Amino acid sequence: MLWMLIVIALIAIGYLMLIRRYRYWIKRGVKQGNPALIFGDNWGTIKQKQSFADMVQMVYNISPNSRYCGMYQFLKPTLILRDPDLIKQITVKDFAHFLNHQNLIPEDADPLWSKNLFSLNNQKWRDMRSTLSPVFTSNKMKYMFSLISQSGEQFAEHFLKQNKEIITVEMKDTFTRFTNDVIANTAFGIKCDSLGERNNEFYLMGKEATDFTGYFIIPQLFKFCDVTFFPKSVSNFFIQLVKENIESREKHGIIRPDMINLLLEARKSGFKNEESQPIQDT
């Protein structure tokens, strides 16, 4: 009987703590919706009845006359800005105080992820952004347009070969495969035909690499269990792919209008940022 009373008391305390957490924005006079316990405003996306964009739009429309409103990503309070002037104030004028974005995945989740621009914060982010910015200018992006065009022509040719007046396709799968081919061609320097060769290795590895739902939901559990962000087979595949690509280009003097070539040029310059500080080659 005593144990039952203890369990009931613990459940009641936990419930009250959750209720208190979901009053975070109310206490601060900020409009909010009706978050579900534990899942917050993500409950609709968890049940797959609502996309993430629809969920944000729903919260955004809670108070049309407010400059901002509040939501909860599971247990985490999140502020949604509505007023253009306030957005400009934070993202431009006061950017120095708000440069760190939401870190959905821990920086040390994986050796490959730890040097990613989206995982870095503070000075590390500043240094890496300053290093990569010259690589992603509009002129250098135009430099890769011919490769994107090649993938587009291959995409169109695939359907023209079928010689049918009406073709039924699953749009998400079709354009996921097209996007995969564009990334392979422009970023990794290899040609893929994911519509013709549906189980090519690059597509399968890319699909596995972008399946990180678990990390978004419970990253702490993955970290506790020492599970890396990318599966070992995926990490090894892309590391080896880039390594062999670079070695081949340097050995045979190959120049190709793609991302690897742009990064190789940046490496030759010493990976220096706008303040001329050397950056460690990762």
User: Do the strands 76-81 and 68-73 form a parallel or antiparallel pair, or are they unpaired?
Assistant: antiparallel
- Per the structure block, which two tokens stand in for 140? 């250098």
* pLDDT for position 278: 46
Same domain, 134 and 87: no
pLDDT the model gives residue 150: 93
Residue that terminates a domain, selected from 98, 122, 141: 98
**Where among 72, 98, 124 does a domain terminate?**
98
Nearest partner of 113 among 190, 212, 203, 202, judged by Cα? 212
Are both 119 and 248 inside the same structural domain? yes
47 falls within a domain: yes
Please check whether residue 40 lies inside any domain of the structure: yes
Task: Note whether 123 and 248 are within 8 A (CB).
Answer: no
d(CA 135, CA 142): 12
Same domain for 124 and 82 = no
> What pLDDT does 101 receive?
76
180 and 117, same domain (yes or no): yes
Mean pLDDT of all residues belonging to the chain: 84
Q: Are 77 and 70 in contact (CB under 8 A)?
A: yes
Identify whether residues 86 and 121 lie together within a single domain: no
Q: Are residues 47 and 137 in the same domain?
A: no
Do residues 155 and 178 lie in contact, with contact meaning Cβ atoms separated by under 8 Å? yes
Residues 80 and 127 in one domain: no
* Helix count and strand count (H, E) for the chain: 14, 2
**Co-location of 66 and 180 in the same domain:** no
Q: Could you tell me if residue 189 is inside a domain?
A: yes
44, 68, 98: which is the final residue of a domain? 98
DSSP state of 78: E
CB 78 within 8 A of CB 42: no
pTM, two decimal places: 0.70
Range of the domain at 70: 30-98
pLDDT by position in tens, the chain (length 282): 788 888 888 888 888 888 889 999 999 999 998 898 888 898 888 888 888 889 889 989 988 899 999 999 888 899 999 999 999 999 898 988 887 877 666 666 667 777 777 778 888 888 888 877 877 788 877 888 999 999 999 999 999 988 888 888 999 999 999 999 999 999 999 999 999 999 999 999 999 888 766 555 555 555 666 666 778 898 899 999 999 999 999 999 988 888 898 888 877 776 555 444 444 544
The answer to whether residue 161 is domain-embedded is yes
pLDDT of residue 53: 87
What tens digit of pLDDT does each residue of 66-111 get? 999 999 988 889 999 999 999 999 989 898 888 787 766 666 666 7
Looking at the fold, whether 135 and 221 belong to one and the same domain comes out as yes
| 2 part of a folded domain | no
Q: Per the domain annotation, does 61 fall within a domain?
A: yes
Predicted local confidence at residue 166, as pLDDT: 83
Q: How many domains does the chain have?
A: 2
Same domain, 197 and 124: yes
Q: What is the percentage of the chain residues whose pLDDT exceeds 90?
A: 35
255 and 161, same structural domain?
yes
Residue 63, both tokens: 């108070």
In a domain, 259, yes or no: yes
Return the number of other C-beta atoms located less than 10 Å from residue 132's C-beta.
16
| 3-state secondary structure at position 72 | strand
| 73, 134: one domain | no
In angstroms, the first-to-last Cα distance of the chain is 60
Q: Would you call 171 helix, strand, or coil by DSSP?
A: helix
Q: Looking at the domain assignment, is residue 24 inside a domain?
A: no
